[in-house]
């Protein structure tokens, strides 16, 4: 089988590019594959971070994508489709997480040959931060695809609100397993300058308003001196709001800040040092952070929003709170540290057994076969 994948790949950075690299690598074990990516992904006004690209020192992946599509150049939509058609794939995969991508990915898919089954992996259908015109763009994108992969019930429900008869599969978000083995906790903390006797909370990933970092910092101001917070990630808006809360509560000595894009080596260091990963989100669909945390056998504390409850089993692999507030986070943190943490770590292995990249490729092939039979 021939599988083409049009999405964000190296040299673009971030969790979505890492997801795509893992998935195309899994397909390449048994199938002929081609990866395609952007020449231009986001204009600067949509990407306020430092850079969209990996550092020169980062490892070059085995499968390197052909850069063929510019989101801001409509002519490239047609030339991209032409290049994909020359490969003549059985399956065209893409990934959708923001309506801005709908014109480029949706139009390209429409001009790929009818013999190709077009499957979209949906991180979000409706975005966390809405803009005028989003609904029309979402409809346009979804109407260009034959089948869909969803990784949370909330995304599935959003899909069905647009396409009630959509051919789809609901499957767990696979674990990110390319970060290497966990380090000894004491070694990791020594490198970060954190004492072994601290209860260490980790907030990891892009810093955006809907992710509730302010709630976690406020919670820290009311938790005891034995708690230490690591904030690691690149802000999508000004970080000054969070710095002011830290300063107001004199938390500087109890908060370690790594306010930048986090390299793979630092990911391992951070998750090895932590006692728990905290997702104090105001809204969510699914989260790739859960997959990273589980890779390192690290339980989570999270607000019960979106699809997070499908990924975190309460009192088994983490603690969920219905209260999306600083007090809700405080109570969840105290509840977590009153539990048997060793048993939570052991329970994570059950989730890890299900959330494999091979499972996702099998589900996609099943979707392909279903879509193909419907067209015949």
More confident call, 307 vs 274? 274
Over residues 108-162, the pLDDT tens digits come to: 999 999 999 999 999 989 887 777 889 999 999 999 999 999 998 889 999 999 9
Question: Mean pLDDT highest for which of 32-46, 48-62, 142-156, 332-346?
Answer: 142-156
Over residues 204-239, the pLDDT tens digits come to: 988 989 999 999 999 999 999 999 999 999 898 889
How far is 128 from 209, CA to CA, in rounded Å?
10
Report percent pLDDT > 70 for the chain.
94
- What is the per-residue pLDDT for 376? 61
Q: Residue 349, SS3?
A: helix
What mean pLDDT is predicted for residues 65-71?
Answer: 94
What region, left, alpha or beta, does residue 315 occupy, with left being phi > 0 and alpha being psi -120 to 50 degrees? left
User: Are 36 and 79 within 8 A, CB to CB?
Assistant: no
What mean pLDDT is predicted for residues 353-371?
Answer: 91
Q: Which of 86, 82, 83, 122 is nearest to 102 (CA)?
A: 122
User: Are 151 and 19 within 8 A, CB to CB?
Assistant: no
Domain ranges of the chain: 2-174+356-375, 185-354
Look at the domain 185-354 and name its fold: Rossmann fold (3.40.50)
The yes-or-no verdict on residue 54 having pLDDT over 90 is: no
pLDDT grade for 43, boundaries at 50, 70 and 90: confident
Q: Which of 198, 199, 270 is nearest to 232 (CA)?
A: 270
Q: Residue 111, SS3?
A: coil
More confident call, 11 vs 224? 224
- What is the per-residue pLDDT for 254? 97
- What is the per-residue pLDDT for 130? 75
Q: What are 95's two structure tokens?
A: 């990934």
- What is the per-residue pLDDT for 339? 87
Measured between its terminal Cα atoms, the distance across the chain in Å is: 18
Task: Name which of 21-30, 208-217, 270-279, 300-309 the model is least confident about.
Answer: 300-309
- What is the per-residue pLDDT for 336? 95
Distances in whole angstroms, Cα of residue 311 to Cα of each of 149, 232, 304, 350: 16, 22, 11, 12
Report percent pLDDT > 90 for the chain.
68
How far is 256 from 246, CA to CA, in rounded Å?
11
Residues in the chain: 376
- What is the per-residue pLDDT for 237? 82
State the average pLDDT for the chain. 90
Task: Name which of 19-23, 194-198, 300-304, 347-351 the model is least confident about.
Answer: 347-351
- What is the per-residue pLDDT for 347? 87
The yes-or-no verdict on residue 81 having pLDDT over 70 is: yes
User: Are 77 and 102 within 8 A, CB to CB?
Assistant: no
pLDDT grade for 170, boundaries at 50, 70 and 90: very high
Run of H or E residues at 372 = helix 357-375
How far is 361 from 366, CA to CA, in rounded Å?
9
Q: Which of 120, 172, 173 is nearest to 149 (CA)?
A: 120
The yes-or-no verdict on residue 60 having pLDDT over 60 is: no
Run of H or E residues at 354 = helix 341-354
- What is the per-residue pLDDT for 375? 67
Taking the CB of residue 255, how many other CB atoms lie within 10 A of it? Answer: 20
CATH of 2-174+356-375, one of 3.40.50.300, 3.30.70.920, 3.40.190.10, 3.40.50.2000: 3.40.50.2000
Phi, psi angles (nearest 5°) of residue 264: -60, -40
How far is 229 from 18, CA to CA, in rounded Å?
26
Taking the CB of residue 31, how many other CB atoms lie within 10 A of it? Answer: 16
More confident call, 353 vs 55? 353
More confident call, 351 vs 76? 76
- What is the per-residue pLDDT for 201? 98
Run of H or E residues at 197 = none
Do the two domains 2-174+356-375 and 185-354 of this chain adopt the same fold? yes
The yes-or-no verdict on residue 174 having pLDDT over 90 is: no
Task: Name which of 260-264, 295-299, 334-338 the model is least confident about.
Answer: 260-264
Q: What are 13's two structure tokens?
A: 């950075």
The pTM of the whole model exceeds 0.85: no
How far is 368 from 373, CA to CA, in rounded Å?
9
How far is 372 from 376, CA to CA, in rounded Å?
7
User: Are 34 and 63 within 8 A, CB to CB?
Assistant: no
CB environment 331-370: b (16+ within 10 A), e (fewer):
ebbeebbeeeeeebeebbeebbeebebeebbeebbebbeb
Q: What are 229's two structure tokens?
A: 């917070």
What mean pLDDT is predicted for residues 297-322?
Answer: 90
What mean pLDDT is predicted for residues 53-77?
Answer: 79
The yes-or-no verdict on residue 48 having pLDDT over 70 is: no
């Amino acid at each position: 089988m021939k599988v083409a994948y049009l999405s964000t790949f190296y040299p673009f950075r971030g969790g979505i590019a890492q997801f795509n690299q893992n998935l195309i690598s899994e397909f390449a074990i048994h199938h002929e594959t081609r990866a395609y990516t952007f020449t231009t992904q986001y204009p600067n006004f949509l990407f306020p971070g430092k850079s969209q690209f990996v550092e020169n020192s980062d490892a070059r992946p085995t499968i390197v994508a052909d850069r063929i599509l510019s989101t801001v150049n409509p002519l490239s939509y047609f030339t991209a489709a032409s290049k994909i058609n020359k490969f003549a794939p059985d399956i065209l995969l893409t990934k959708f997480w923001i309506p801005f991508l709908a014109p480029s990915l949706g139009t390209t898919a429409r001009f790929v040959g009818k013999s190709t089954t077009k499957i979209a992996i949906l991180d979000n259908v409706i975005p966390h931060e809405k803009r005028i015109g989003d609904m029309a763009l979402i409809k346009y994108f979804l109407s260009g695809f034959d089948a869909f992969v969803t990784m949370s019930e909330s995304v599935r429900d959003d899909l069905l609100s647009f396409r009630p008869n959509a051919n789809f599969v609901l499957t767990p978000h696979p674990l990110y397993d390319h970060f290497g083995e966990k380090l000894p906790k004491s070694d990791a903390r020594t490198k970060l300058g954190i004492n072994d006797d601290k209860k260490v909370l980790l907030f990891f990933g892009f810093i955006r308003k809907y992710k509730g970092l302010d709630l976690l910092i406020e919670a820290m101001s009311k938790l005891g001196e034995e708690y230490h917070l690591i904030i690691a990630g690149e802000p999508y808006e000004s970080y000054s709001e969070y710095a002011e809360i830290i300063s107001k509560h004199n938390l500087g000595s109890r908060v370690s800040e790594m306010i930048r894009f986090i390299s793979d080596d630092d990911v391992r260091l951070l998750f090895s040092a932590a006692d728990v990963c905290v997702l104090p989100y105001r809204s969510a669909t699914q989260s790739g952070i859960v997959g990273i945390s589980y890779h390192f056998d690290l339980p989570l504390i999270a607000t019960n929003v979106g699809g997070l409850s499908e990924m975190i089993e309460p009192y088994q692999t983490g603690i969920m709170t219905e209260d999306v507030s600083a007090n809700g986070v405080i109570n969840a943190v105290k509840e977590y540290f009153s539990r048997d943490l060793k048993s939570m770590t052991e329970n994570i292995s059950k989730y890890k057994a299900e959330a494999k990249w091979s499972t996702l490729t099998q589900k996609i092939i099943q979707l392909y076969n279903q879509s193909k039979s419907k067209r015949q």
